[in-house]
Amino acid sequence: MQVFSFIKNGYQLVPIEVEVSFVPGLPKIQFLGLPDTAIKESELRIKSALKFQGFEFPSSQQVLVNLKPSYLKKSSRGLDLAVAAAILWKSGQIDEPLAVDKTFVYGQLGLEGSVQVPSDIRGLNYVEDIDEPVFTGVPKESLEVALNVVTQLRDIRAPEFIEPLKTKIEFSPPKLKEDVMFNKEAARAMTLTAIGEHPILLAGPAGSGKTTFAECLYAVLENPNEKTFLQSLHMHELMGSGKLHWRPYVAPHHTITALAMVGGGDPIFPGEISRAHGGVLMLDEFLEFKSAAKEALREPFEKGAITIHRKGKKESFPADFYLVGTTNLCPCGDLVPGKVSSCRFSLTRCRSYVEKLSGPVLDRFQMLTYSHKWGGEAKVSMEQIYDDIRKAQNFARIRGQGAVNAKLAQSQIEKEMDPMILTNFLPEFGSSRRRKASLLKVARSVADLDESLEIRPKHLEAAAEYTLYPFERMKRIFS
């Protein structure tokens, strides 16, 4: 009989074989096959568990545990149970499972033989080629594989078979801030960006409400679908971020490095963009982030995933996040496009500050709005904004849309539009195809807000107020 367990590989688990042999020598466990420190320390847990559960460690025998393939560095949170089970089966203290050629075992042992669930148990959802149920501890909700469950090491003689659970996930979205009101310009921007989850950059003077806007925006988003949420949940468990009850909200400090932002290292670990998978990546003071950290967002932002190569190894992590950025346009925080400010810094200093925002990075934002326009009377409540967003999103579902508007293919939107509008009502876009795609995607959200099946010229014009004109003003900010 072959005994298998799992090691960590990125955000997934991959099978390895646990080969056990007894040789004369001191009664100890010797691990082979590049184990990490945590695996080596499991020797004492295994010995203690065997004793408390009424079993014997092979006397005058050294237990060799070969983890195959031997050339991979191994890190695992549930190898204890596999090694203990292999010792018991090999020594004949308990009978081997009948009619099973390959047995998968994964669980953490307590000193007295209790079996706990490894924190990365959801990684089993992504393991391929498992033909037989897995021996493990009590499963967590929404696991998609069949399990043989044990709570004590002695129970491995007669484990309880558990079918994959189909528990409905209950979300706990954040509460709306009932005491916060926005003027019409800010409310309109929040409504449109939330309808289609369009990446947005909020630029303007300090104290104009950009951070408050971003925090309130998070509360009006839609519930995630279950598949994405399970991926987000697994990433948080993998990265030790604690329990997740809704979409992630990740707001790293602007001093973060590119490595911490996207991941890397040896062994390869995920970064903050993977922690934000399925949720919001909030970058406050966007221009203060290091250039390398901002530029590193470009590829994963387009693909919704990040692939990292280090020392001949390759790991892929999910990174489908909703990007929200806030920034001042000047070191003093008072500069706005088209207005003469009493800035105490030189024009050269101000220009160099704005130039921190490269064209390719700016082009990744589908929407740009300036917060100095939000100075009017605040009359729109969060409840009204929430209701408008849900109405538009429900209409989009009725249309049969398969993704949020920000993720729709440009060709799909154009296919549903009147060719006459495409020919006669679209402005010039220069060399940027992303500006055209952004215009059409945001126009689709405007049309959904109007509950219109077709994108009309008025929807294009409304979308241009966020996708074209602000970007042009940014380019001419000092002209």
Dig out the tokens for 77 from the structure: 């949170």
Contacts 24+ apart (CB under 8 A), 435-440: 435/363, 435/467, 435/468, 435/471, 436/410, 437/410, 438/198, 438/366, 438/367, 438/467, 439/463, 439/464, 439/467, 439/468, 440/410, 440/413, 440/414
**Residues above pLDDT 90, as percent of the chain:** 48
Q: Is the pLDDT of residue 374 over 90?
A: no
Going through 392-456 in order, the beta strands assigned E by DSSP cover none
**Cα–Cα distance between 310 and 134 in angstroms, integer?**
32
What is the pLDDT averaged over residues 275-290?
A: 94
The most confident of 155-164, 245-254, 377-386, by mean pLDDT:
245-254
3-class state of residue 121 by DSSP: helix
pLDDT at residue 90, rounded to an integer: 92
3-class state of residue 435 by DSSP: helix
CATH H superfamily, domain 181-390: P-loop containing nucleotide triphosphate hydrolases (3.40.50.300)
Model confidence over 236-282: pLDDT tens digits?
888 877 778 899 999 999 999 999 999 988 778 899 999 999 999 99
* Confidence band, pLDDT 50/70/90 cuts, at residue 145: confident
Model confidence over 396-439: pLDDT tens digits?
988 877 789 999 988 888 888 888 888 877 777 665 788 889 99
Instruction: Output the CA angle 160-166-170, nearest 5 degrees.
Output: 120
User: Closest Cα partner for 62 from 82, 47, 41?
Assistant: 47
* Confidence band, pLDDT 50/70/90 cuts, at residue 315: confident
Q: Is the pLDDT of residue 341 over 70?
A: no
When comparing pLDDT for 459 and 140, which is higher? Answer: 459
Residue span(s) of the chain under CATH 3.40.50.300 come to 181-390
- pLDDT averaged over the chain? 87
Residue span(s) of the chain under CATH 3.30.230.10 come to 2-162
* Confidence band, pLDDT 50/70/90 cuts, at residue 340: low
Model confidence over 119-136: pLDDT tens digits?
888 888 778 767 677 888
Among 3.90.420.10, 3.60.130.10, 3.30.450.20, 3.30.230.10, name the CATH number for the domain at 2-162: 3.30.230.10
Helix (H) or strand (E) holding 147: strand 147-149
Q: Is the pLDDT of residue 449 over 80?
A: yes
pLDDT at residue 345, rounded to an integer: 74
pLDDT at residue 131, rounded to an integer: 67
Q: Is the pLDDT of residue 367 over 90?
A: yes
DSSP state of 126: G
Q: Is the pLDDT of residue 324 over 60?
A: yes
User: Closest Cα partner for 318 from 303, 333, 328?
Assistant: 303
Cα–Cα distances (Å) from 42 to 45, 56, 109, in that order, read: 5, 17, 9
Which residue has tokens 């090491």? 153
DSSP per position, 291-360: HHHHHTTHHHHHHSEEEEEETTEEEEEE---EEEEEE-SSTTS---TTS----SS-HHHHHHHHTTS-HH
